[in-house]
Structure 1
Amino acid sequence: MHRTHVIIDNELFKKLNGEIWEFRTIYNQTKYRLLTFWDKKRKKLVIVTHGFVKKTSKVSSKEIERAESIRLEYYKQNNE
């Protein structure tokens, strides 16, 4: 039996609050941010709530609130 371990790369993922994480990437010299969370039941499933082009060094509370709202709706729709 093989076990898989989840390793979070600090270069790519940064925890923003409770369950919301920021995935960072660059494409064509533009910095993109995707806000994500892990599914509670399927621990290896990452759900992307939304993304945006990074313009400041800090993610706004509005973006985090939006991600949290989407996360709650996801669990509501999946009866979790």
Structure 2
Amino acid sequence: MEKNFDIIFLEEVFDFLRNLKAKHSEKILYNIRKSQTKNDPELFKKLNNDIWEFRTLYQGNHYRLFAFWDKTNTQNTLVISTHGFIKKQGKVPEKEILKAQKLRLEYFKDKD
């Protein structure tokens, strides 16, 4: 299957995945690969104009990896994943969204 986008993980994502049990990070990565070929809001959902989340439910844990789009290269659409956390409440914490927005701004600033 053809991928709709490529993904770049920022260092915080690697740190987050490294601190999980292997099966849990494998499931998260499996769902991310699936979301690259299939448009499914259960896997990849828009939170606001700039921030999206990769979603994984595994063994009762709700894992979220925040991301944003980089469409500056017309040949290769990128999704940049900023960081992850384990969701413990119904609503996504605003501080996590703000953190993703801050990392997005830094990414584009450094890219220029």
TM bracket, shorter-chain basis: 0.7 to 0.9
Give the Cα–Cα distance (whole angstroms) in 2 for the partners of residues 58 and 11 of structure 1.
Answer: 15
Q: Distance in 2 between matches of 1:62 and 1:34?
A: 14
Structure 1 residue 5 displacement after superposition: 7.7
**Kindly, what percent of the aligned residue pairs are identical?**
55
> Greater share of strand residues, 1 or 2?
1
Q: Paired residues, what number?
A: 76
RMSD of aligned C-alpha atoms?
Answer: 1.9
Gaps of 5+ in 2: 5-37
Query: Which residue of the partner structure matches residue 41 of structure 1?
Result: 72
Contact 2:64 2:87 in 1 (8 A): yes
Give the secondary-structure state (helix, strand or coil) at the position aligned to 1:11: coil
> How do 1:1-80 residues align onto structure 2 when only pairs under 5 Å count?
6=4, 8-42=39-73, 44-79=77-112
Bigger proportion of residues as helix: 2
CA–CA distance in 1 between the matches of 2:65 and 2:105? 17
Cα distance in 2 for residues equivalent to 1:60 and 1:46:
21
Cα shift at 1:65? 0.6
> 2 CA distance for matches of 1:70 and 1:60?
16
